[in-house]
């Protein structure tokens, strides 16, 4: 594990200077889930909640969240994102919705935080839209699945 780079010589937080890094194509994929009662999952699947199509709204929220990552994570660089794709898989057997976000840019720093933010915002939006039906939903298992590009190269979760 390398040296942490978000601290200056005084031990205070700083945003890393990436000005000398080369622009490369960078892609990150993050995943997560939200668990709920089968009855709530059925409402989502049937688009039967009063607030509307839960997954459509959550997809838009995830895209918006990824684009705003630098505004809510203090040391993240503002990035030009060239692509954001969010997908959902309904798992009736485990009564959950799996969320995957793929974020892409060409630049000096990676998009891992943007992908993780997209997944988190999607899950929070699902919770918000379903909370009238259920408050016991559990958001979790949010992680980086893979990333490519940059000096550190590729990473694929084992």
Q: Which residues are catalytic?
A: 128
CA–CA dist 145, 158 (Å, integer): 9
Contact status, residue 108 vs residue 22, Cβ threshold 8 Å = yes
CA–CA dist 110, 64 (Å, integer): 18
CA–CA dist 98, 145 (Å, integer): 13
The separation between CA 147 and the C-alpha centre of its own chain, rounded to angstroms, equals: 13
Contact status, residue 110 vs residue 28, Cβ threshold 8 Å = yes
Classify residue 28 by its DSSP letter: E
End-to-end CA distance of the chain: 17
């Amino acid at each position: 594990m390398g040296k942490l780079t978000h601290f200056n010589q005084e031990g205070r937080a700083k945003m890393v200077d990436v000005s000398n890094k080369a622009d490369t194509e960078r892609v990150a994929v993050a995943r997560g889930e939200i668990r709920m009662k089968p009855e709530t999952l059925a409402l989502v699947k049937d688009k039967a909640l009063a607030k509307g199509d839960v997954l459509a709204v959550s997809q838009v929220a995830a895209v918006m969240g990824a684009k705003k990552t630098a505004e809510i994570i203090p040391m993240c660089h503002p990035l030009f994102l060239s692509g954001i794709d969010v997908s959902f898989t309904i798992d009736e057997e485990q009564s959950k919705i799996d969320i995957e976000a793929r974020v892409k840019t060409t630049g000096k720093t990676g998009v891992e935080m943007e992908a993780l933010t997209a997944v988190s915002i999607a899950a929070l939006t699902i919770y918000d839209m379903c909370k009238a039906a259920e408050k016991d939903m559990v958001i979790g298992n949010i992680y980086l699945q893979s990333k490519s590009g940059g000096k550190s190269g590729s990473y694929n979760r084992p």
